[in-house]
């Protein structure tokens, strides 16, 4: 029997909630916990989690934020964040990228984190408080319905989360909706080589392990173009399985929402702060 979209989303939520609880309880001794992407088929050569952040970045983070890092890249290193910008991190987890972004954009900027998992949100709020960054806001929701107004964000980042979405075209359209004209994305994700079929990707790892649901390079580029982005690039950085890679995804929005005939999705809720 096939797994429904709701069942997949609940499995993702449950496994990341387990990882957050393990960090909070002090039973997690590595970012690659039983609920993370890197627990599924990882080898010693696969790089996930806090190891992808340099020593200087790890030095300004609470220990719990580093331990809770389950991503496949370091989006803050490629997003070229600037003083005073508004940044949104999709699937913010324990808050590592939100905290680093908040420090980068400074007191005149804002960093939002969006996550659907109560346990991760609680951990992120605690980590941001411990890090002493006041210019952060954590929102509860799903990345297919971003609870922010249109044209409200300068940069969208994400770390190994879009591959977990059950509706990736909607995610890309939502990113375009909330970005201001000229806004940009700097995303780390797991991406497949174009030679792999969906069935072959599923053979290499599970959906919650960030493998089976990954887009191919060509699919990613086509999806970004369809959502209204230009100058899209998908650059492989390191292999995570045969034909599967950690990748840096960049693109720029140059048109207003709806100008390409795309649906303008209304926000699910007003932005709030935990």
The DSSP result for 214-269, as a single string, is PPBHHHHHHHHHHTTEEEEEEEEEEEEETTEEEEEEEEEE-S-TTTTS---PPPSS
Q: Residue 5 class from Cβ within 10 Å (0-12 exposed, 13-18 middle, 19+ buried)? A: exposed
**Residue 274: strand, helix, or coil:** coil
pLDDT at position 19 over 60: yes
- Side-chain-side CA neighbours of 103 within 13 Å: the count stands at 17
Residue 174 CB-density burial (10 A; 0-12 exposed, 13-18 middle, 19+ buried): buried
Q: Burial of 15 by CB count in 10 Å (0-12 exposed, 13-18 middle, 19+ buried)?
A: buried
Q: What pLDDT was estimated at residue 227?
A: 96
Q: Express each pLDDT in 92-113 by its tens digit.
A: 988 989 999 999 999 999 999 9
Of the two residues 97 and 73, the one the predictor is more confident about is 97
pLDDT in tens, 34-52: 334 544 444 433 444 444 5
168 found inside a domain: yes
Please indicate, yes or no, if residue 43 is contained in any of the structural domains: yes
Distances (CA, A) of 217 to 74, 79, 233: 19, 19, 9
Is residue 138 a part of any domain in this protein?
yes
The β-bridge relationship of strands 153-159 and 244-253 is: unpaired
Local confidence band at 76 (pLDDT 50, 70, 90 cut-offs): confident
**Number of residues that this document lists for the chain:** 274
Whether 267 is in a domain gets the answer no
Residue 264 lies in a domain: no
Is 173 inside a domain boundary?
yes
Structural domain boundaries, residue 23: 5-253
Structure tokens at 59: 């030095």
- Strand (E) positions, 19-159? 86-90, 110-115, 136-140, 153-159
Report how many domains make up the chain: 1
Q: Is residue 77 part of a domain?
A: yes
- Domain of 239, CATH number, reads 3.40.50.150
Q: For residue 102, is it within any domain? A: yes
Cα–Cα distance, 157 to 17 (Å, whole number): 21
How would DSSP label each residue in 67-108? HT---SS-GGGTS---TT-EEEEES-TTSHHHHHHHHHH-TT
The DSSP call for residue 17 is H
Residues 2 and 165: their CA atoms lie apart, in Å, by: 17
Q: What phi and psi, each to the nearest 5 degrees, are found at residue 260?
A: -105, 15
Instruction: Please name every residue paired with 90 in a beta bridge, in sequence order, or none if there are none.
Output: 114, 158
Q: Per-residue pLDDT tens for 187-228?
A: 999 999 999 999 999 999 887 888 889 999 999 999 999 999
């Amino acid at each position: 029997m096939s797994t429904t979209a709701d069942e997949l989303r609940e499995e993702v939520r449950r496994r990341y909630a387990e990882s957050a609880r393990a960090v909070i309880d002090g039973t997690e001794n590595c970012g690659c916990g039983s609920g993370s992407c890197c627990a599924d088929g990882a080898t010693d050569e696969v790089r996930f989690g806090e190891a992808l952040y340099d020593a200087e970045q790890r030095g300004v983070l609470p220990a719990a934020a580093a331990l809770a890092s389950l991503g496949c890249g370091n989006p803050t290193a490629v997003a070229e964040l600037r003083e005073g910008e508004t940044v949104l991190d999709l699937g913010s987890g324990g808050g590592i990228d939100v905290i680093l972004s908040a420090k980068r954009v400074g007191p005149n900027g804002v960093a939002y984190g969006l996550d659907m998992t109560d346990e991760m949100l609680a951990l992120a709020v605690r980590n941001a408080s411990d890090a002493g960054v006041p210019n952060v806001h954590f929102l509860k929701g799903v990345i297919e319905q971003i609870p922010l107004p249109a044209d409200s964000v300068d940069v969208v980042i994400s770390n190994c989360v879009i591959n977990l979405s059950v509706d990736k075209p909607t995610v890309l359209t939502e990113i375009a909706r909330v970005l201001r004209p000229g806004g940009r994305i700097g995303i780390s994700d797991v991406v497949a080589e174009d030679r792999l079929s969906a069935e072959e990707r599923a053979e290499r790892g599970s959906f919650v392990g960030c493998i089976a649901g990954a887009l191919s390079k060509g699919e990613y580029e086509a999806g970004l173009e369809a959502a209204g982005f230009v100058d899209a690039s998908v650059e492989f950085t390191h292999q995570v399985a045969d034909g599967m890679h950690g990748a840096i995804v960049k693109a720029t929005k140059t048109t207003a929402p709806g100008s390409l005939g795309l649906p303008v999705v209304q926000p699910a809720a007003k932005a709030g702060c935990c």
